[in-house]
Amino acid sequence: MIKIFINEHPLVISDDSEDLFRLKNLRLMDDDDKSLMRAVEMLENSDRQLANFGIFVPTVDEKDTFKRFKKYYKEIQAAGGVVLNDKGDVLLIMRQGKWDLPKGKKDDEEKLESAAVREVKEECGVKSIKLGDFITKSYHTYQLDGGRVLKTTHWFFMHIDHPEEFTPQQEENITQVQWFSISDLNLGQLDTYNSIRDVMHVALQK
């Protein structure tokens, strides 16, 4: 299953029909090129605040369908971290009025792991951090200079085992860096992006 968030709504490409019933409230569409473009336009023009709306594209070949989907986009590779400490807390940043995970664009020739660590250090003002295992990839789209962009973010666990004074990266519109207790965190109520909510759900189940 490949899930791409377009305007906060999921476009799901899957070769498993059971995913349609597990995810619920998804509109079924074909996987031909014309239908894919129609699905993209429907989600782009939908209300971002509309709950439980998305599109499910069944396919016999997820990679082929995703490849055809991507031809409409400029691709950007990014990396980020789900940062934990010994107390059972997860580190979140406040960016442009929403809670987010630290992440950013990978530089040319830079390894994903290095990019993830660099971005977390820069955005949170962290001096020392330990890189952990790979978690998952997330996909979301946005508009830039009149064109469509697909950002693939590669997520890694990270760990801070000592107290840190955080310095939010203001030039990236980050105003807060804060620990949240995992046991008290309600992902459904957290004011964040749906793609970030998905990543945290996957990470905190591991």
**Domain assignments of the chain as residue spans, ordered by start:** 2-70, 74-205
Average pLDDT over residues 16-34: 91
Average pLDDT over residues 69-95: 96
- Predicted TM-score of the model (pTM): 0.94
User: How much is the pLDDT for 97?
Assistant: 94
Would the pLDDT of 127 be above 90?
no
- C-alpha neighbours within 13 Å on the C-beta side of residue 43: 27
- Digit-coded pLDDT (tens) for 159-189: 998 777 899 999 999 999 999 999 889 998 9
Q: How confident is the model at residue 22 (pLDDT cuts 50, 70, 90)?
A: confident
**Which CATH number, 3.40.190.10, 3.40.50.300, 3.90.550.10, 3.90.79.10, labels domain 74-205?**
3.90.79.10
Which DSSP helix (H) or strand (E) runs through 14? strand 9-14
φ/ψ of 26, rounded to 5, equals -110, 140
If we measure between CA atoms, which residue out of 114, 6, 112, 101 comes closest to residue 50?
Answer: 6
Query: Cβ–Cβ contacts within 10 Å for residue 134, how many?
Result: 14
Classify 177 as helix, strand or coil: strand
Average pLDDT over residues 118-131: 95
pLDDT of residue 161: 84
Strands 74-85 and 26-28: unpaired
In 24-129, where do the E strands start and end?
Answer: 26-28, 54-58, 74-85, 89-95, 98-100, 103-105
